[in-house]
Amino acid sequence: MSDTRKTPDPASLSLKGRGGSATQTPATPGADFSRVRGSVDSTEEPARGADFGSVSSSVGSTEAVLDERSHTVAKGENLSRISKQYYGSANHWKDIFEANRDLLDDPDMIQPGQVLRIPPRSGDRNDD
């Protein structure tokens, strides 16, 4: 058997009761969470703080191992002249330039006061 009641139109509903005044429906009691408590327990031992008491540090340099030197550029110097001074030949200017690419963009644009690394002489180049 089917339900023959019609669903009322929501626009026709009213909060007014039969006596013409608004009626209050008693509040439906909701769930009471006022006594709810939360906690987390673990069977794991509490972690101790990190112990850095035995940590040590040191700073070493490979400069002595590589036999690398440095040169402070003087006014009027160029890489060829510096190469001649350290290697006995002006032809190793490119080795100095490559060792200082972090400082130099152009081998012809060195400035007085710049400190250049002088790499060890490579044994595979001719002094032609």
What is the predicted pLDDT for the residue at 102?
93
Q: How far is CA 13 from the centre of its chain?
A: 63
Assessment of whether the complete model's pTM goes beyond 0.95: no
Q: Residue 100 gets which letter from DSSP?
A: T
On whether the CB atoms of residues 79 and 93 are closer than 8 A, the answer is: yes
Residues of the chain with pLDDT under 50: 22-23, 124-128
On whether the CB atoms of residues 83 and 121 are closer than 8 A, the answer is: no
- pLDDT 10s digits, 73-86: 999 999 999 999 99
